[in-house]
Structure 1
């Protein structure tokens, strides 16, 4: 299905302060090396899969609903990948 687990060491190196409604989702940011096409392709594929298989298939009632659905999808993706 994919190219491996979504979580990667370079994604957890830095955690910025997020303000507003997005803070409830507890996003993690990290270093992405855009000069490496292999990493960019993998990241783009995960984002595309997330949109096609999760986000575009439902209407979220709240940020909590979105966070739960996306978290469940990431767990599924990591288990299958």
Structure 2
């Protein structure tokens, strides 16, 4: 970032610390919710809903399932 030092001169001291500030990258994330159907032998995926959100690197996001659907653990969030 702007306020980070442009250069640093190392000395003979041990445990030298240089503090550099960074900003995490933001990414657009697309989640596709598919409904899975079986016709006897074959699995058929049908796109049911799409969710878009903006997240930062390292962020934990809370996602709500589409109405009427749950995650494998039974929760909707």
TM more than 0.5: no
* TM-score, L = length of structure 2: 0.19
Larger RCO of the pair (alpha carbons < 8 Å, separation 6+): 1
User: Is the radius of gyration larger for structure 1 or structure 2?
Assistant: 2
In the superposition, the TM-score normalised over structure 1's length comes to 0.19
